[in-house]
Amino acid sequence: MKTYWHSVRENLLLALDTLRTHKFRSFLTVLGVLIGTTTVIAVASIIAGLDSRLVSTMEQFGTNSLWVYKLQFGARLRLTKEERMRKPLTYEDAMAIKEQCPAVDEVSAALLLQINDFGGLSPTTVHYKGHDMADAQFLGVTGNYLKISNAPLADGRVFTDADDVHRRDVAVIASTVVDRLFKNEDPVGRSIVINGHAFEVVGTLGKFKGLVGDNPDDRDVFVPYWTFKKIYPEAKDNFLDVLAYRGKLDQAEDEVRGVLRRRRHVKPSEPDNFGIATAESLITQFREVISTVALVMVVISSIGLLVGGIGVMNIMLVSVTERTREIGIRKAIGARRSDITWQFLLEAITLTGSGGVIGIAVGWLISFLIRTLVPDLPSTVPLWSIVTGFMVATGVGLFFGLWPALKAARLDPITALRYE
């Protein structure tokens, strides 16, 4: 065993000496491996950061919440004809869920003005003393909506049931609305104008957590549900936020689905004509999308590793040719085939392993720069990506260095000694 490790150490030192002797050639040889490893590390850090941010965002809105809407939740390019023709959810649906679902604690409703073809809220313009915000999101919500959705109250108060029952013209505005319209003023007690209607601001919200950059929820303007209905009697599109009792989320989901299917006359053989989402389901959808992106990036990085591997094989074949006499001398003084094989294999593995280490360092630097320049994205390099990157890099050296190593080991010592 001692002799074996001595041989490995000797071959490793020879490999390192070869790298030092041909620094630039070695760097060009492993450039593909370096790029491939860097891509794996950088992509893994971004995915880990996005995943961490999404989980944090979903937890903010509640792990015991169900979000119910006439459309299925998730990314979409455009609404289908069937989706555009769907009957909206109603306030009565919310009350039926509250009354008929034992696992449900509370239900709130948000009345929406208009949904665009991409499934998002159409923007509304808000005015205040000559300042306009053209991309606000205007909603009418029941008194418990902000509580159920864990909205971060920054100043003032949220709606009361009295505000809703008496249809008072009051509003709670989110942080981006405050920043754009009230730069040097306290918004509480001021009046804003939306589509010709004045509302007194009674409360402001702090920032919602989002994935990266601007969060659309920070552009919300909330008014009481029946105030909104008074102004826009034609508005019918409702979004429901359902709070389940702790530990009964799955039961609540089944009960809500059953109630809505009965009320919307969905046949047993037909799929739901509405969408129900939980924090877990949205995270799962996100991870499915991200896994596809990761797969594409792995394929791209594999091209770099393949190019790097072919380069390693070529340079190792050249190295075998250049050192034919050296191989002959080693064999003449007693070196075995396995010694020669391991000498060149370790050289190839050291070559690609060095590229992998540099790639890991560059990937970590990219992750650090992302975390520094984009604070909203907590980019972190997971341990598995470092281990995977290094193992793949050394694996490339082992695979593509095997043929040159075997070729060197099979050389006839007499022919090798005569080689010029």
Summarize pLDDT for 36-46 with one digit per residue, the tens: 888 888 888 88
Q: Where are the domains of the chain?
A: 2-56+285-418, 64-278
The share of the chain scoring above pLDDT 90, in percent, equals 7
| pLDDT at residue 85, as a whole number | 80
What is the C-alpha separation between 109 and 143, in angstroms, rounded? 9
What is the C-alpha separation between 309 and 32, in angstroms, rounded? 8
| pLDDT at residue 418, as a whole number | 62
The 10s digit of each residue's pLDDT in 371-403 is 888 776 777 888 888 888 888 888 888 888 888
Of the candidate ranges 121-135, 198-212, 260-274, 351-365, the one whose mean pLDDT is the lowest:
198-212
Residue 18 pLDDT class (50, 70, 90 cuts): low
What is the C-alpha separation between 323 and 409, in angstroms, rounded? 12
The 10s digit of each residue's pLDDT in 296-311 is 777 777 777 787 788 7
- Would you call 153 helix, strand, or coil by DSSP? strand
pLDDT > 70? residue 84: yes
Kindly state the average pLDDT of the residues 138-153.
84
Kindly state the average pLDDT of the residues 5-33.
66
Q: What angle do CA 231, 235, 239 make, to 5 degrees?
A: 120
| pLDDT at residue 396, as a whole number | 85
| pLDDT at residue 115, as a whole number | 59
| pLDDT at residue 2, as a whole number | 46
What is the C-alpha separation between 339 and 12, in angstroms, rounded? 12
- Tokens matching residue 352: 């690609």
The share of the chain scoring above pLDDT 70, in percent, equals 83
The 10s digit of each residue's pLDDT in 87-122 is 888 899 999 999 998 998 889 898 887 655 544 566
pLDDT > 80? residue 258: yes
332 CB-side CA count, 13 A: 12
| pLDDT at residue 137, as a whole number | 87
The strand pair at 104-112 and 153-156 is best described as unpaired
What is the C-alpha separation between 39 and 16, in angstroms, rounded? 26
Indicate the DSSP class of residue 122. Answer: P
pLDDT > 80? residue 172: yes
Backbone torsions φ then ψ of 167, nearest 5 degrees: 55, 45
pLDDT > 80? residue 213: no
